């Protein structure tokens, strides 16, 4: 997978793209995932997959 032009790997403990980005030190805005809000409510982490 490539995020922001950086090739990253996915491992079995990654639950979603936010985990992949965080583990690879890539800043991915995800306010409700990283806080106590209901996951999926802000839509900031929506990405385009090519
Ligand atoms: S962080 Fe993904 S929808 Fe809010």
Cα-to-centroid distance, 15 and ligand 1 (Å): 13
Q: C-alpha 46: how far from its chain's center?
A: 9
pLDDT tens per residue, range 1-50: 898 899 999 999 988 888 899 999 999 888 887 777 777 788 877 777 77
- For residue 43, the ligand 1 atom closest to its alpha carbon is 3
Task: For the full predicted model, state whether its pTM sits above 0.95.
Answer: no
pLDDT tens per residue, range 13-27: 988 888 899 999 999
* Helices of type H across the chain: 17-23
Going by C-beta distance under 8 Å and a sequence separation of 6 or more, which residues neighbour residue 47? 17
Closest CA to 3 of 24, 29, 30, 31: 24
């Amino acid at each position: 997978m490539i995020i922001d032009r950086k090739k990253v790997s996915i491992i079995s403990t990654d639950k979603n793209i936010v985990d992949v980005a965080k583990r690879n030190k890539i800043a991915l805005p995800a306010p409700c995932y990283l806080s106590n809000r209901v996951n999926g409510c802000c839509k900031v982490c929506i990405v385009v997959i090519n």
